[in-house]
């Protein structure tokens, strides 16, 4: 594992920074919000906790949670309109700073592309820099499952996306930032991992992070040293 000073240095000279979305870039867990909106909040929240704690494979947890929610296209659109995702304080400024330093920003999420794209637009992140799961609907708008071929549908999927980005863009230094076990697992192939506890603190992630922050201010201050 990198030391604190090594992680800070890698962050300052990163060519790309990848963010988790739920409980990192936004305050909530998108799947929990969708479940609550569809009236099955409690059952799904418990399963999310298990998935984030690493006691169930990500794909199994996603499949089971979605089979409980069974949201229609209309419900998803209504959720985004009525309860748009709440950005975590400081994220907009941090992304602006990264862009000013010509550092590419990517969103890699185990959540849903339709919600994550909305977040990306608010942060001026190009939509081809978004990697997330795609919900599938029948022609009448009813839930038809999710695209199981997306790397983000699997445990270890975030690492696969980072490997792909390194190959595609020739990045040498990629930093992953997130709150959960799936984010931590993405390093390696990420050059460094920064744990984020501004919305929820997950003990195992905090204990295994050489740099753990609870505010994006700390990262903005580090960029100002460049």
- Mean pLDDT on 40-68: 78
Among 1-5, 50-54, 71-75, 169-173, the minimum mean pLDDT is found in 50-54
What is the rounded CA–CA span in Å between residue 199 and residue 88?
8
> How far, in Å, CA of 196 to CA of 217, rounded?
12
The answer on pLDDT for 54 being more than 70 is no
- Flag whether pLDDT at 56 surpasses 80: no
Domains and CATH numbers, the chain: 4-28+85-224 (3.40.50.1000), 32-82 (1.10.150)
For residues 102-120, average pLDDT: 91
Radius of gyration of the chain (CA): 17
* φ, ψ for residue 64, nearest 5 deg: -65, -40
Give the phi and the psi of residue 26 in degrees, each rounded to 5. -115, 160
**pTM (2 d.p.):** 0.89
* Residues acting as catalytic residues: 20, 22
* CB within 8 Å of 167: residues ≥ 6 apart: none
Q: Work out whether the CA dihedral 186, 187, 192, 195 comes out positive or negative.
A: positive
Q: Is the pLDDT assigned to residue 119 strictly greater than 80?
A: yes
Q: What is the pLDDT of residues 168-202, one digit of tens each?
A: 999 998 999 999 888 888 888 999 999 998 888 88
């Amino acid at each position: 594992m990198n030391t604190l000073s090594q992680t800070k240095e890698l962050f300052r000279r990163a060519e790309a920074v990848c963010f988790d979305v739920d409980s990192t870039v936004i305050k909530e867990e998108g799947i929990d919000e969708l479940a609550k909106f569809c009236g099955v909040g409690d059952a799904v929240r418990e399963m999310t906790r298990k998935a984030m704690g690493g006691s169930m494979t990500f794909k199994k947890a996603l499949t089971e949670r979605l089979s409980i929610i069974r949201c229609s296209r209309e419900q998803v659109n209504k959720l985004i309109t009525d309860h748009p995702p709440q950005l975590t304080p400081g994220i907009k400024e941090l992304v602006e700073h990264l862009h000013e330093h010509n550092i590419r920003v990517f969103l890699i999420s185990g959540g849903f592309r339709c919600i994550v794209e909305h977040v990306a637009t608010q942060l001026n992140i190009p939509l081809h820099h978004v990697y997330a799961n795609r919900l599938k609907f029948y022609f009448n708008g009813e839930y038809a499952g999710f695209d199981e071929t997306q790397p983000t549908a699997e445990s270890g999927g975030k690492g696969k996306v980072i490997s792909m980005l390194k190959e595609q863009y020739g990045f040498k230094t990629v930093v992953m930032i997130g709150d959960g076990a799936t984010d931590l697992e993405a390093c390696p192939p990420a050059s460094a991992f920064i744990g984020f506890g501004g919305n929820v603190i997950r003990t195992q992630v905090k204990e295994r992070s050489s740099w753990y922050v609870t505010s994006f201010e700390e990262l903005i201050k580090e960029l100002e040293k460049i």
